[in-house]
Amino acid sequence: MVDFTFNAKEQEIIREIRREGLVLRKYARYYDEHEEELPPDEFPEAKEFAHIDKMAADRGADATSPTAFYMCMLMHRTWGDMMRMKVPFTALGNASVTAAGTDEQKKRWAKTRLSMANTEPGCGSDSKAIETTAELDGDEWVLNGEKIFVTTGIRAEGSVIWATIDKSAGRGGIKAFVVMKGTPGFELVKKEKKMGIRSSDTAAFVLKNCRVPKENLLGMDPTVKKGGGGFKGLMKTFNLTRPGVAAMGIGNIMACQEFVAEEMAKEGVAVDYEAGQHKRSAIQQKMIELEAELEAATLCTLRAGWLADKGKPNNLEASVSKQKGGDISRRGAQLALEILGAMGSTHDQLVEKWFRDARITDIYEGTGEIQRLVIARELLNYTSKDLT
Amino acid sequence: MITFELTKEQTLIQKTAKEFASGELKDIARDCDEHDEIPKKLLDKAWEMGLANAAVPETYGGIGMQRSAMTSALICEELGYGCASLAAAIMAPSTFIQPLVDFGTEEQKKRYLPTYGQDKFAPAAAALHESHFTFDVTDMRTTARQEGGHWVLNGVKRLVPFGQTAQHFLVLAKSGDRTGLAHVGAFIVPRDAKGLTVESAPEKTMGLKPVPKAKITLDNVAVPMADRLGAGKGIDGRRLINTLRVANSALCVGLAKAVLDASVPYAKQRVAFGEPIAKRQAIAFKLSEMHSEIEAMRWLVWKAASQLDQNGDATKATTLAQHYANKNCVLIADNGVQIFGGHGYIRDLPLEMWMRNARTLTVLEGIVAA
């Protein structure tokens, strides 16, 4: 039976995550203002909250399905901050290894934190246009090119570099290579400076005749594939990461919404959900719009997670959640600042930071426009060639 | 536990309503709209299937099906997909029946429900709307005051579905001086009550045209104490209004889905500048957004419905669902017309009708379904 409530254990977990979030918020401003510093892998208070993951693993018989609940946890975690009390051991590159690597490779890099390098100065969403090349020379692949916007690029020990072995083959020629830091020719150019999510390290790399062993090709299949190949492995990872990214944006806006509601209450401006619309002020109407949009994005994200747990296809729903998550991350933060007025933009509180942090949601892991393309193709039964 | 899983019974009801909508509503929708008329046969058939009156208990001649806000939402979405006007007509008596089932005393149920448990359509409806544009359910101008062992009703009600033929009205009024949903009173008033006048000419509206609507005037109508819904105890006005609003919002979801499902094949087939317009992002993105909003609208409606069914105060969830469903229903219907261009505006295709229906449906504050 349709239900949108959490059981007692789940409510307790959410309370604990939020308690952790309040601790993180104490560090939030510092790492926002000291972008050059890397937050620790583990904050000293992490021990106090180590029980949360254990609690999440056993939530009783009437528990929310795991992926849907994971999305809830992500929302409430990010309600605290984009930063994490304990940085996960794995990064996006590890997801690529899981999706495209051989068993041997999965074992080999199981304990190595790997970033994923896909974007280049000349291409982002259009991943098939990448220009970084890999050529086989004896027992080694030789990589050349530039990679930017590499999330966790500073923190990670190595990177999964997406490169083409045959430019004329388009997607079919794209392969992924594990390149460890310290490999000659693999240079860290800089740490990027960003509008928000500054606690998340973003790197730019250059590969100049960078040689890696043959065994570092993920999947170990050097043949050019027709119509996808390794590229499909890249895309497959998105069905889970897209709702996850949406969930983080939603968490940001949850924080904005709650802060604004508290400020309104302090000033005696309560939203009367019963009263007719003619009795609502513009501010109250904005709050209702903000809450409705937030609820819409949240429910679409939970739906995408729930479908995954049911073993049903969720490609469409993953993009719907990301689209809605991107929209609310922009519109919701705007509404919050509109309601707060000038004080909302000061460093007195964190709303202005959340506003900057949330803005990334509609950009990374596929822009809002890309999500719309994915959704439209599904609706219209069009291929990516039919609709670009 | 967060879950979107429907029960077996709910899936069956959904399927039944879907089949009825595609078999009985879609094809005659335009004709009904043009002639402001609904075939009696259609209403009887819907009645036979229990779409609006299944909740009438067996003791009173009904089917006695467990009716929840969730099943209502499912039925309304499917019927709204077939045709919002006809759905509104079919469901209108439920705005009388459902509150009686939910809040009526045994005495009231025994007296009024047998008429509506039959398998022939029996018109009745809630009388909610009023003339002024600042109409507010929480502060209505129609009043009920206690006087000489009666409730005395005064006011003017507009757009009352089946007003001309209804045997009973559920008149919603402000009882006492207090504002707020909790203080909405509901009164069972027979059409021959002294002081009640039904204007014979039907009210004409832009959308939901085939639903007959009436203006009724209450001039010192004396209602026995026993005919206040819930009698001495009264009703949970909040719950009553929220139930109506959730059903209304579900009709919006169905209507919007119909627009999208017509727009997708049209955009693929309509060629401009050498290729289908669906291949242009300006059109494709509109379709994407329609789809995402319809999903979101549905889940908001489901959340409000499930809260009602869990007997919680669903006021906030209902307000958010109604706000979201109304806004996007109108937007989607409007964009449907835009995608079809001139063909959207011509009365051959249903797009312009859907747009009129969307606009009318969303200003009605929930008087058409329960």
How many Cβ pairs within 8 Å bridge chains A and B? 148
Asked if the Cβ–Cβ distance from A276 to B319 is below 8 Å, we say: no
Residue for token pair 């080999």 = A108
CA distance A87 to A81: 13
Record the tokens describing residue A303, joined without a space. 């739906």
Residue for token pair 């946890």 = A73
Say if CB B317 and CB B241 are below 8 A apart: no
Confidence tier at A227 by pLDDT (50, 70, 90):
low
Question: How much is the pLDDT for B366?
Answer: 62
Burial A79-107 (b: 16+ CB within 10 A, else e): bbbbbbbbbeebbbbbbbbbbbbeeebee
Q: Which of A106, A107, A104 is nearest to A96 (CA)?
A: A106
Q: Which of B82, B39, B34, B128 is nearest to B348 (CA)?
A: B34
The verdict on A61 touching B (C-beta cutoff 8 Å) is: no
Judged by CB atoms within 8 Å, which residues 286-325 of B form the interface with A?
A: 287-289, 291-293, 295-297, 299-300, 302-303, 305-307, 310, 315-316, 319-321, 323-324
Question: How much is the pLDDT for A370?
Answer: 96
- Tell me the one-letter amino acid at B326: N
Q: Which of A15-29, A36-50, B127-141 has the lowest mean pLDDT?
A: B127-141
Q: Where in chain B is the domain with CATH 1.10.540.10?
A: 8-116
Minimum distance, in Å, between the CA of residue A28 and any CA atom of chain B: 31
Q: Where in chain B is the domain with CATH 2.40.110.10?
A: 125-233
CATH number of the domain at B125-233, please?
2.40.110.10
The helix/strand/coil state of B122 is coil
At the top level of CATH, which class does the domain B8-116 belong to?
mainly alpha
Q: Which of A159, A153, A162, A96 is nearest to A132 (CA)?
A: A162
Confidence tier at B364 by pLDDT (50, 70, 90):
confident
- Tell me the one-letter amino acid at B48: E
Judged by CB atoms within 8 Å, which residues 137-196 of A form the interface with B?
A: none
The verdict on A69 touching B (C-beta cutoff 8 Å) is: yes
Question: How much is the pLDDT for B74?
Answer: 97
Question: How much is the pLDDT for A235?
Answer: 65
The verdict on B326 touching A (C-beta cutoff 8 Å) is: no
The partner residue sitting opposite A2, judged by closest CB among B238, B306, B321, is B306
CA distance B283 to A253: 29
Taking contacts as CB-CB distances below 8 angstroms, the residues of chain B near A1 are: 3, 5-7, 10, 70, 306
What is the CATH architecture assignment of A237-380?
Answer: Up-down Bundle (1.20)
pLDDT exceeds 80 at position B370: no
Q: What is the mean pLDDT of chain B?
A: 95
**Maximum alpha-carbon separation in chain B:** 78
pLDDT exceeds 60 at position B72: yes
Say if CB A172 and CB A228 are below 8 A apart: yes
Question: Exposure of B24 by Cβ count < 10 A (0-12 exposed, 13-18 middle, 19+ buried)?
Answer: buried
- The full length of chain B comes to 370
* Backbone phi, psi, residue B219, to 5°: -120, 100
Q: Rounded mean pLDDT of A335-340? A: 96
Taking contacts as CB-CB distances below 8 angstroms, the residues of chain B near A278 are: 133-134, 136
Q: What is the pLDDT of residues B295-329, one digit of tens each?
A: 999 999 999 999 999 988 999 999 999 999 999 99
The helix/strand/coil state of B171 is strand
Confidence tier at A230 by pLDDT (50, 70, 90):
low
Note the helical H segments in B21-83. Answer: 29-35, 40-48, 69-82
Element (DSSP H or E) covering residue A356 = helix A351-358
CA distance B88 to B80: 8
The helix/strand/coil state of A198 is coil
Q: Which of A241, A300, A196, A208 is nearest to A88 (CA)?
A: A241
Phi-psi map region of A374: left, alpha, beta (phi>0 left; psi -120 to 50 alpha): alpha
Q: What is the pLDDT of residues B25-44, one digit of tens each?
A: 999 999 999 999 999 999 99
Q: What is the pLDDT of residues B252-307, one digit of tens each?
A: 999 999 999 999 999 999 999 999 999 999 999 999 999 999 999 999 999 999 99
Q: Rounded mean pLDDT of B125-134? A: 92
Q: Where in chain B is the domain with CATH 1.20.140.10?
A: 237-363
Question: Exposure of B77 by Cβ count < 10 A (0-12 exposed, 13-18 middle, 19+ buried)?
Answer: buried
Record the tokens describing residue A92, joined without a space. 């996006």
Asked if the Cβ–Cβ distance from A376 to B285 is below 8 Å, we say: yes
Say if CB A238 and CB A373 are below 8 A apart: no
Confidence tier at A225 by pLDDT (50, 70, 90):
confident
Asked if the Cβ–Cβ distance from A376 to B278 is below 8 Å, we say: yes
The partner residue sitting opposite A376, judged by closest CB among B134, B287, B315, is B287
A contact test, residue of B138, B141, B292 with most A CBs within 10 A: B292
pLDDT exceeds 80 at position A231: no
Instruction: Report the first-to-last Cα separation within chain A, whole angstroms.
Output: 40
The partner residue sitting opposite A273, judged by closest CB among B4, B310, B316, is B316
Q: Which of A67, A71, A43, A52 is nearest to A9 (CA)?
A: A52
Q: Rounded mean pLDDT of A308-317? A: 93
At the top level of CATH, which class does the domain B237-363 belong to?
mainly alpha
Q: What is the pLDDT of residues B162-213, one digit of tens each?
A: 999 999 999 999 998 888 888 899 999 999 999 999 999 999 999 999 999 9
Question: Exposure of A270 by Cβ count < 10 A (0-12 exposed, 13-18 middle, 19+ buried)?
Answer: exposed
Confidence tier at B367 by pLDDT (50, 70, 90):
low
Phi-psi map region of B368: left, alpha, beta (phi>0 left; psi -120 to 50 alpha): alpha
Q: Rounded mean pLDDT of A313-320? A: 94
Q: Which of B339, B322, B326 is nearest to B259 (CA)?
A: B339
Question: How much is the pLDDT for A236?
Answer: 64
The helix/strand/coil state of B218 is strand
**Residues of A belonging to the active site:** 365
Minimum distance, in Å, between the CA of residue B134 and any CA atom of chain A: 6
DSSP summary character for residue B88: H
Q: Which of B234, B240, B46 is nearest to B138 (CA)?
A: B240
CA angle B7–B12–B16, rounded 5-degree value: 150
Confidence tier at A5 by pLDDT (50, 70, 90):
very high
Minimum distance, in Å, between the CA of residue A115 and any CA atom of chain B: 31
Record the tokens describing residue A326, joined without a space. 């991107």
Taking contacts as CB-CB distances below 8 angstroms, the residues of chain B near A291 are: 316, 320
Q: What is the pLDDT of residues B203-245, one digit of tens each?
A: 999 999 999 999 999 999 999 999 999 998 999 999 999 999 9
| CATH topology for the A92-227 domain | Butyryl-CoA Dehydrogenase, subunit A; domain 2 (2.40.110)
